[in-house]
Amino acid sequence: MIRRRNLIYLGVRESGNWYLSISDEARRQVQLPSHRHLRVRTHPHADPIILPVVSNPRHATTERDVLIPVGVQKNKQGILLGPIIGILTVRRIGTNTFRGNRDNFRDICEMGRRLGLTVVVFTPEGVNGSHRIVGYLDKKYSSGKRVWKRVTLPFPSVVYNRIPDREAEAKPAIESLKKQFAELGIPMFNHNFFNKLQLHEWMQKSPSTKGYLPKTEPLTDTRQILRWMEQHDLLYVKPVDGKAGDGILQVRREGKGWLLVAQQYGNRTRMRFATRGETAQAVWKRVKGRPYLLQQGIELASFNGRLFDLRMLVQKNRYGRWKVTGIGARVADVDGITTHVPNGGEIASASPALRGAFGTTRGASILKRAQEAALLLAQTLERSVRSEGGLLGELSLDVGVDREGNLWFFEANAKPMKFDEPRIRARSLMRLLQYCEYLASTQ
């Protein structure tokens, strides 16, 4: 565990009032005055607040008070507490709890404790106009029991957006909250979900990334499908706002006919047609009324007889620079049309998959090229997101490797899922929180 000598405690009473508990060591380390009240800020652009100071929390608190370790530093603006890192999600309807991956949130909070950082989960309903939030702390008892404790805290110094789906993110309350934080100078990163067509357009504009793109167009009508079937023996029809491979159609030439495979919720439906016209009509019937795109099919490399692609987690580090945190291989099932895990895929280590497909030397070379490509793709995405007023701190990238060893960009996810491999997981949590510190100190 990392122990910081500049840690003090923010006491939160049941009434929502705050006080500070400061050790003599922390006073000396940060050169804090020995006053009964201190004027502090919780982020550089916040209005100052005056809080009472107690030297011994055991003599000043009740059992219902919550003591939260927070960092403290002095700068030209005075005494700055924090950073307080907020994880933004949404409320579970009909309850006072919240949605999202709670195991992931607990892991972030636990790493925050090890780094001496305060992490709080909150929803728009917990934000009011007095620069306070009612959020949830991961409280850990000596018995090992853990609960989500509701507490009232100052506004966070930086916000990590983990709103769980597009529908929730489109609600007016979320847009209003984003605007409020922007006006207060509180940085929020991973602003929105990505749109597949928008991703393609962003990558196409950059000379450094357009070479990784399979041919892609918005789907308009059956005549377009027919033209594509003349040009390609394999193509995919993908929902613009899809996730986890649901709603994807694969169209493949088989002898003199065509095979159409529709994928939804882990199930696949196979249909065979004698002509292009019949196939195009069947595709259009399934997608009509919803935004889809056409994408050139890539004949992926295989490992133990199963197709695979690469999933890469790319994050900003403590200096605000992109780094590849982890790479895994997503392996399709035997008759799978995509590698998505919810639709039958499995996760494997990237190096063995590439060695199995290309041999040791060439597999290592492809892995190195994939890492270099990941950094280029992340930098291009960041420039595009910044041009629209957003910040990007992490993302996952899906990159295909064809049978010749060429790399193809398929998709990026602004709300990446966690890697289960312990070393990658620990590194990802560390980088996430260190980037939060970086944002809090530089924005």
Contacts of 157 (CB under 8 A, 6+ apart): 42, 43, 82, 83, 84, 85, 186, 436, 440
Q: What is the pLDDT of residue 442?
A: 83
CB-based contact 148:103 (threshold 8 Å): no
Q: Phi/psi at 369 (nearest 5 deg)?
A: -65, -35
Domain hosting residue 383, numbered range: 196-212+301-414
Q: Against a cut of 0.85, is the pTM above it?
A: yes
Per-residue model confidence as pLDDT tens digits over 277-326? 999 999 999 888 788 999 999 999 998 888 899 999 999 999 999 999 99
Nearest CA among 418, 419, 346 for reference residue 102: 418
For residue 240 the two structure tokens come to 């613009």
- Residue 152 and residue 7 share a domain: yes
Question: In terms of C-beta density within 10 A (0-12 exposed, 13-18 middle, 19 or more buried), how is residue 122 classed?
Answer: buried
- Residue 258 and residue 128 share a domain: no
**Is there a domain that residue 424 lies in?**
no
Q: Could you write out the DSSP letters of every residue in 22-84? A: --HHHHHHHT----SEEEEESSTTSPPEEEEEES-GGGT--TT-EEEEEEEEEETTEEEE-PE
Q: How far, in Å, CA of 164 to CA of 104, rounded?
A: 12
- Residue 200 and residue 270 share a domain: no
| Three-state DSSP class for residue 132 | strand
**Is there a domain that residue 437 lies in?**
no
CB-based contact 35:54 (threshold 8 Å): no
Q: What is the pLDDT of residue 57?
A: 56
Q: How far, in Å, CA of 191 to CA of 232, rounded?
A: 36
Q: How far, in Å, CA of 92 to CA of 88, rounded?
A: 13
Domain C-terminal end among 251, 271, 296 = 296
- Residue 363 and residue 325 share a domain: yes
- Residue 344 and residue 373 share a domain: yes
**Is there a domain that residue 139 lies in?**
yes
CB-based contact 211:436 (threshold 8 Å): no
- Residue 254 and residue 399 share a domain: no
- Residue 53 and residue 142 share a domain: yes
- Residue 266 and residue 205 share a domain: no
**Is there a domain that residue 25 lies in?**
yes
Per-residue model confidence as pLDDT tens digits over 31-85? 888 888 999 988 777 788 899 988 765 555 667 788 888 888 887 778 888 899 9
DSSP alpha helices (H): ranges in 141-292? 166-169, 172-184, 196-205, 222-231, 276-287
**Is there a domain that residue 419 lies in?**
no
- Greater model confidence, 50 or 4: 50
- Residue 133 and residue 20 share a domain: yes
Domain C-terminal end among 280, 296, 312 = 296
Half-sphere exposure at residue 346, Cβ-oriented, CA atoms within 13 angstroms: 9
Per-residue model confidence as pLDDT tens digits over 133-172? 999 999 877 777 889 999 999 999 999 999 998 899 999 9
- Residue 270 and residue 127 share a domain: no
- Greater model confidence, 421 or 226: 226
**CATH number of domain containing 226:** 3.30.1490
Number of folded domains that form the chain: 3
Q: Could you write out the DSSP letters of every residue in 362-430? A: HHHHHHHHHHHHHHHHHHHHHHHHHHTT----EEEEEEEEBTTS-EEEEEEESSPPPP-SHHHHHHHHH
**Is there a domain that residue 423 lies in?**
no
**Is there a domain that residue 438 lies in?**
no
Domain C-terminal end among 249, 274, 296 = 296
- Residue 143 and residue 8 share a domain: yes
**CATH number of domain containing 318:** 3.30.470.20
- Residue 266 and residue 169 share a domain: no
**Is there a domain that residue 102 lies in?**
yes
